[in-house]
Structure 1
Amino acid sequence: MSGEKLNWWQTRWFVLAMAIAATIPLWWPTIPPLVDLPGHMGRYRVQLAMADNPWLNQWYDFRWSLIGNLGIDLLIIPLAPLMGLEPAVKLIVMAIPFLIVTGLLWIAREVHGRIPATALFALPLAYCYPIQFGFVNFALSMAIALNLFAWWLRLARQGRLMVRAILFVPLSCALWVCHTYGWGVLGVLAFSAEMIRQHDLRKDGRGGHWLESWIRAGLGCVPLALPLVMMVVWRSGDHVTGVTADYFNWRAKIQWMMMVLRDRWLAWDIASTAVLLVVLLKGVRDDRIEYSRNLGLSALFLFLVYLLLPRIVFGSAYADMRLAPFVLAILLIALRPRRGSQPRDAAMLAMIGLVFYAARLVGTTWSFALYAQAYDRTLAVVDVLPPRARVVSFIGRHCYDDWAYTRLEHVPGLLLERRLAYANDQWSMAGAQQLTTRYAAARGFAHDPSQIVTDRYCRGEWWRPLGYALQLFPRDAFDYVYLISPPAFDHKQLKGLTLIWQNGTNYLYRVDDRTQPPPPPPLIKRRPKPQSQPAAK
């Protein structure tokens, strides 16, 4: 096979071109329009500015600790002084789809010897729904984990097992620090691949049955185990909060699988997911194509983990949803021509995969440009907002789940990032990240999800109707009220607030009368249980 000429989709230049192309949707937006990212950027600013602006301690408590969620938080320390915080974050985020593409194609190359044409259909998952949601430390860890798994396979193929064992002790620890999820996925992938390798040694008289292979695979993955100690230390502290809940929500798990390419246009995203499923079905029905045992087992293990994972782990929401697209990605790159057969239409299949990838990139680029325009309109308020302003933001949304998020749910974090203004969108869960809120005067409007408002009470949610929020927020704790695409409400509840700026459906009010309005009559008889609150992501 090594002497055969490579097809155009199997060359290193093609892999590099596909990886660079994956960054195109992020070229135009100043701030990558990912749902949670603006909130994280507010935290990064506090992290960098706390020493020179000690008054921030009145609002936020920031303490460094060794936790499995520090990827970008650490990378901005050397990068932000060189290029500024926003360019540094954008550069790191652009690296995520780049590394996902290189990781998937590298894994395919190591397992199959050549990149199969079907692997190109996995590339659009570089912008899967969890990444669109802005789980950036998670996404970075997954991108790195894919490349580390490819290297793990390569070192095994070269017989450099001792080198692999030595290298992956520090690498697994670094990956865990980036985000625990990536380390866990690397462990699952490495274990499944090692099981196949150990079992296949039987052909040389040195292997064993599956049980023996299982044991040997576990021993082979010991270099990845040191973060288990770090995990115990992290989660055993007295300061740690966060629950694990919502197991076996089968309806949601089916929905997550159908949402793997969710972005803006429902029909387009569902049709694109259907294309992936058709390709996977081709591997079952077409006698010229088969699934690799190696990656097939990896995908099976990941799928079992997906089924067992609850929705909330350690207070972090959507834990199971994050894995869904990567199960499909591993399945897609597991496809290959059957041994001894080379489908005549391989080039055509590769071309279709390339067109599909290009079409998804065009759609994502257009979508991100539209989201970037919404960001620009919303952030124009910084021109009139003084530094150190105490701002309570209220962002309108529906009770039902819109397919196309506004992506403005955490844009107040950019007021903190750009003007060092107080933002009530920060997550506050000790042990989940470095920052917690300490602004007691803000009371129930100190942190996420107090920034989200609706036109009515949404059953089972923590969001307030906007009218109630305007009556309840403590007026002596805030200088400004920022309404972002608010729902309908009674404008009499704006008494004591003066409109000083408007841009489209965004309004900035100054609090001129700090007299607290009388509390509204009780509306919510029963609040959702604490474990249903996704306080950290």
Structure 2
Amino acid sequence: MMGDIPDDPPRWWQTRWFVAAAALIAIVPLIWPEIPPLVDLPGHMGRYRVQLSLDAAPWLSQWYNFRWSLIGNLGIDLLIIPFAKLFGLELGVKLIIMAIPALTVAGLLWIAREVHGRIPPTALFALPLAYCYPFQFGFANFALSMALALCLFALWLRLGRLRRFRLRAAIFIPASCLLWLCHTFGWGVLGVLAFSAEMIREHDRRKDAGSGHWFASWFRAGLHCIPLSLPILMMILWRSGDHVTGQTTDWFDWHAKTQWLLMVLRDRWLAWDVAGAALLYLLLLKGIRDPAIEYSRNLALSALFLTAVFLLLPRIVFGSAYADMRLAPYVIAIAVIAIRPRRTMSLRHAGVLAMLGLAFFLARMGGTTISYWMFAHDYRTELAALEKLPVGARVVSFVGYGCRNEWRMSRLEHLPALALERKLAYTNDQWSMAGAQLLTARYTIAGGFAHDPSQITTTRWCLREWWRPIGYSMARFPRDAFDYVWLIRTAPFDPSYASDLVPIWRSADGTSALLKVDHTKPAPDIADSELIPKRLLELRDLIRRKRAAEAAAAEKAKAAANPS
């Protein structure tokens, strides 16, 4: 499992100071933005505000149902309790988010050190994946759990190398439970990595003893991983509750999986991000074909196991989307750090590889820093509307979006939640999925505008999406449920749809505005035929008739079964 440690002194990329410097460089893009510009993060911050402020703002309980429960998705939800007391909610969240890429970088380099004996120069190419697409999407608990899983895997390898198996079991029984509590995905990945590492270690040990049978190695590897198994009971408790919802579906979508592999570095600029991914794949190919470098059997097997999981995972697990997409960058990261120079490679050649890897890392961090600075400017522009919003307001928000999946996501999709976070206002962008989140919306009078994705608006009806055109949303949102309308970079719409709304703030370019509902004026009376295409009206009527027929049949069957 271990590479031989050479007698010569470590090179600059193999020192502790380099690992510390790389971890610090990884946080640079997040220093400037007040709110880390990750797509879903503002929505999570709204939930944190509810959990922290139910006693101080009792009206929140009229809008949201918040209930603590044992779920495998509580990482920052738990950490923010002490962090908010020490630093305030926004700074507390920022500090936790800043720790994620730093821990990811440190974990990758530590794993490389444990497996190869020294950090190989090729490992530096994996470091930009600390800002992978799932992190950019704002899967905060997931990204934190993956960063911790990498560090824990490195510790697992170290204790195994030192043959401290009892100490390892004592540490990893509680550590695996805490990791599962952070996010189930991190625990699962740690289990896959640990099992594959133990298979190689057991096989090599038995091979040296003349009995290197793979089945015996597999069995012994499973025994070594028993300290990681306690969260299975926690998983059963979580998924067997009456409150749990969410399907597991959309299997083997090969087109989507191919896209995820191209999007591992997706941020703002398509050519720049795809070129970065292409460089990683070129390096992986060279690991196969170049006689000067090779793959570690340990991490190569880990990468193969993770690849199998990625291929088998559906897109939606327990109602949470993009399950397979989340794993893709970490498959690549493990495969990249599996590569190492052969003994025949000269120190000069290794130094050149390290400089190229460092240049790639610095270039990606520089690009991400610029990108985040631009997103932070967008946030400041839009959040100026909150200065005009009173505390405790009932706000329906509409964010402009396109039917096409644009490479540069606006990062505004859940910005309305900052009205909840800063002004304790009702916003309609919270997820409402029992069993997957601690918070669900209970504001029934808002109807179809109570929760995500009702805040997303488009210029037209989009195929296979629940999003509504801005005109429909403006004409149909329930006026009695809301006092304010927050428009964030929406498309133009017929002014008659807002005849009962009074502008109180507007952005310089006119695409964003805060409007107040004038309850003394009647809501616009717009016919469905003006808002909905004829084919959609016909489909809606067909669905209504089908549901009515099913209800009548069920009532008839019930009456037949109970004639009294």
What range is the shorter-chain TM-score in? over 0.9
- Structure 2: distance between partners of 1:214 and 1:392: 55
Q: AA paired with 2:432? A: S
Matched length: 528
Selected match of 1:204 from 203, 208, 212: 208
Q: AA paired with 1:484? A: I
Equivalent positions of 1:27-66 (< 5 A) are 27-66=31-70
Aligned to 2:313: 309
Structure 2 unaligned residues grouped into runs of 5+: 544-564
- Cα distance, 1:372 vs structure 2: 0.3
Evaluate the alpha carbon distance shift between residue 229 and residue 162 of structure 1 in structure 2; reply closer, same or farther with a 3 A threshold.
Answer: same
- Cα distance, 1:2 vs structure 2: 5.1
Aligned to 2:271: 267
Structure 2 length-normalised TM: 0.92
- Structure 2: distance between partners of 1:289 and 1:343: 13
Q: Is residue 399–residue 458 contact of structure 1 (8 Å, CA) maintained in 2?
A: yes
- Cα distance, 1:488 vs structure 2: 2.6
- Structure 2: distance between partners of 1:433 and 1:442: 20
- Cα distance, 1:199 vs structure 2: 0.3
- Structure 1: distance between partners of 2:515 and 2:206: 74
Q: AA paired with 1:414? A: L
Q: AA paired with 2:17? A: W
- Cα distance, 1:207 vs structure 2: 5.2
Q: AA paired with 2:362? A: A
Aligned to 2:517: 511
- Structure 2: distance between partners of 1:202 and 1:414: 58
Aligned to 1:214: 218
- Structure 1: distance between partners of 2:271 and 2:208: 52
Larger Rg: 2
- Cα distance, 1:422 vs structure 2: 0.6
Evaluate the alpha carbon distance shift between residue 70 and residue 322 of structure 1 in structure 2; reply closer, same or farther with a 3 A threshold.
Answer: same
Equivalent positions of 1:98-497 (< 5 A) are 98-205=102-209, 208-339=212-343, 341-342=345-346, 344-497=348-501
- Structure 2: distance between partners of 1:469 and 1:450: 8
Deviation larger for 492-501 or 202-211? 202-211
Aligned to 1:86: 90
Selected match of 1:69 from 66, 69, 73: 73
- Cα distance, 1:471 vs structure 2: 1.3
Q: Is residue 288–residue 342 contact of structure 1 (8 Å, CA) maintained in 2?
A: no
1:520 aligns with 2:511: no
Aligned to 1:534: none
Cα-to-partner distance string for 1:312-368 (whole Å, 9 max, x where unaligned): 000001000000000000010000112455464110110011011000000000000
- Structure 2: distance between partners of 1:517 and 1:490: 11
Structure 1 unaligned residues grouped into runs of 5+: 530-537
RMSD: 1.3
Q: Is residue 112–residue 118 contact of structure 2 (8 Å, CA) maintained in 1?
A: yes
- Structure 2: distance between partners of 1:51 and 1:313: 34
Selected match of 1:5 from 5, 9, 22: 9
State the SS of the aligned residue for 2:481: coil
Q: Is residue 390–residue 421 contact of structure 1 (8 Å, CA) maintained in 2?
A: yes
- Structure 2: distance between partners of 1:206 and 1:367: 56
State the SS of the aligned residue for 1:29: coil
Q: Is residue 110–residue 151 contact of structure 2 (8 Å, CA) maintained in 1?
A: yes
- Cα distance, 1:274 vs structure 2: 1.0
Evaluate the alpha carbon distance shift between residue 381 and residue 232 of structure 1 in structure 2; reply closer, same or farther with a 3 A threshold.
Answer: same
- Structure 1: distance between partners of 2:276 and 2:283: 11
Cα-to-partner distance string for 1:75-125 (whole Å, 9 max, x where unaligned): 011110111000000000000000000000000000000000000000000
- Cα distance, 1:490 vs structure 2: 1.3
